[in-house]
């Protein structure tokens, strides 16, 4: 069973060094992938690079801002120089503005669409070009249960995740004959910087836990394990799928 995932030596670009991207980068690096981790926040990059080193693996880091097509193409080009053209790609950046629709301003909408969905498109297109050329690729996007459920106060966020799901299904269909798979993991509530403040407020944590059939929130490592599987050789016949990692949240 050694190297069952067959990730050893594979160039992997992970965009997003936060809770879910950081945990996934560490898991991929532990499985032997040549990980390049990219984020706008240098401190987070350093923290994950140190954790990888402490765990006996390693990864390269790139500071980037993925809110423009040029920024996205630059990080893909830099990854190619550092590790080779990506064979594995994970998109794990995102923001959420929790407001009722009637209270949202124009920036809330545009900024959320740009970071969550346009960056997924720009990065997916740039990486997809290299994967199609190589006739091999494993692309994974971090979607959300919000792409399916209608949580109040989540309009821009839910729109980006629903849009991402449809975008990746089209990419999956277009690139399937080239050995490139495109899938998503769709987590329920996982404690990271994105959710921490909200979970710490009032009885939010308890009331969210009560909505999960597993009666608990998820851990970043549980999302990372699903990412590693979809990023592996073992998942070569799975494409265009949204894998919910949610303790059963979307069942209720
Ligand atoms: N945490 C959850 O419960 C949860 C649930 C479902 C989906 N998700 C999704 O998972 C993904 C990652 O979320 P997370 O929980 O790890 O959040 P996080 O806030 O911990 O990480 C997000 C990362 O994105 C980086 N980033 C922000 N703007 C950037 C930019 N312009 N350029 C480059 N990097 C930028 C941040 O520095 C941060 O490291 C998001 O798409 C989020 O929607 C999270």
Q: Give residue limits of the domains in the chain.
A: 11-191+220-244
Please write the tens of the pLDDT for every residue from 152-189: 999 999 999 999 999 999 999 999 999 999 999 999 99
Contacts of 210 (CB under 8 A, 6+ apart): none
Residue 172 burial (CB count, 10 A): 19
Instruction: Say if pTM beats, i.e. exceeds, 0.85.
Output: yes
214 CA to middle of ligand 1, Å? 24
Amino acid 2: pLDDT: 78
Residue 244 bears catalytic tag? no
Quick check: 58 pLDDT over 90? yes
92 CA to middle of ligand 1, Å? 6
Please write the tens of the pLDDT for every residue from 66-113: 999 999 999 999 999 999 999 999 999 999 999 999 999 999 999 999
Amino acid 214: pLDDT: 98
What is the average pLDDT across 213-238? 98
Ligand 1 contacts (CB < 6 A) are 16-21, 39-41, 44, 64-67, 92-94, 115, 142, 144, 187, 189-190, 192-195
Which of ligand 1's atoms lies nearest the C-alpha of 145? 6
11-191+220-244 maps to CATH 3.40.50.720: yes
Pocket test for ligand 1, best of 14, 20, 156 (most atoms within 8 A of CB): 20
Please write the tens of the pLDDT for every residue from 110-158: 999 999 999 999 999 999 999 999 999 999 999 999 999 999 999 999 9
Which of ligand 1's atoms lies nearest the C-alpha of 190? 3
Pocket test for ligand 1, best of 93, 145, 221 (most atoms within 8 A of CB): 93
Ligand 1, atom 43, lies closest to the CA of 94
Q: Are 185 and 223 in contact (CB under 8 A)?
A: yes
Residue 94's Cα: distance from chain center in Å?
Answer: 9
Residue 213 burial (CB count, 10 A): 12
Round to whole Å and give the CA distance between 223 and 227.
6
Percentage of residues in the chain having pLDDT higher than 70: 100
Catalytic residue among 121, 157, 198, 244: 157
Round to whole Å and give the CA distance between 7 and 4.
8
C-alpha closest to that of 192 among 18, 8, 2, 14 = 18
Please write the tens of the pLDDT for every residue from 178-222: 999 999 999 999 999 999 999 999 999 999 999 999 999 999 999
19-30 vs 42-54: helix crossing angle, rounded to 10: 30
Round to whole Å and give the CA distance between 48 and 23.
8
95 CA to middle of ligand 1, Å? 6
192 CA to middle of ligand 1, Å? 8
């Amino acid at each position: 069973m050694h190297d069952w995932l067959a990730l050893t030596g594979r160039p992997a670009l992970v965009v997003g060094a936060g809770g879910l991207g950081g945990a996934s980068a560490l898991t991929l690096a532990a499985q032997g992938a040549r990980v390049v981790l990219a984020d706008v926040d240098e401190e987070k990059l350093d923290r994950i690079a140190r954790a990888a080193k402490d765990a006996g693996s390693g990864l390269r880091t790139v500071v980037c801002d993925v809110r423009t097509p040029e920024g996205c193409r630059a990080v893909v080009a830099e990854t190619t120089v550092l590790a080779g053209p990506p064979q594995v790609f994970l998109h794990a950046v995102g923001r959420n503005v929790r407001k009722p629709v009637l209270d949202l301003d124009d920036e809330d909408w545009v900024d959320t669409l740009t970071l969550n969905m346009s960056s997924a498109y720009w990065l997916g297109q740039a990486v997809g070009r290299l994967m199609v050329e190589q006739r091999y690729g494993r692309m994974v996007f971090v979607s959300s249960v919000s792409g399916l459920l209608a949580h109040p106060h989540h309009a821009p966020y839910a729109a980006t995740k629903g849009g991402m799901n449809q975008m990746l299904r089209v990419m999956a269909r277009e690139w399937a004959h080239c050995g490139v798979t495109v899938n998503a993991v769709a987590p329920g509530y996982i404690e990271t910087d994105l959710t921490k403040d909200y979970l710490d407020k009032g009885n939010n944590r308890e009331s969210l836990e009560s909505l999960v059939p597993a009666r608990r929130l998820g851990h970043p490592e549980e999302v990372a394990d699903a990412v590693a599987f979809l990023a592996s050789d073992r998942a070569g016949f799975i494409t265009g799928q949204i894998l919910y990692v949610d303790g059963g949240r979307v069942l209720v």
